[in-house]
Amino acid sequence: MKEISLYIHIPFCKQRCFYCDFPTFAGREKFREDYINALVKEIESKCSNYIIKTIFIGGGTHSHLEVKELEK
């Protein structure tokens, strides 16, 4: 199996920083659950034939996610 690295973009922030150039959204927490579920589904469908070597989580404020969301 081929090894791959993943970048997972979490586009949610408590507030938008004036210097940030990343595609992010502030005040849209109601979309978080749907986003996480879609992300999990996509990773499962696209990565099942690979060994995930590393995962980088970035984007907005990825620490803004709750533990249960990261565990998915």
SS (H, E, C) the chain: CEEEEEEEEECEECCCCCCCCCCCEECCHHHHHHHHHHHHHHHHHHHCCEEEEEEEEEECCHHHCCHHHHHC
Q: Each residue of 27-72: pLDDT tens digit?
A: 677 788 898 999 999 999 988 889 999 998 887 765 667 788 877 8
Domains of the chain: total: 1
* Global confidence as pTM: 0.73
Domain range spanning residue 41?
A: 2-71
Q: What is the mean pLDDT of residues 6-19?
A: 82
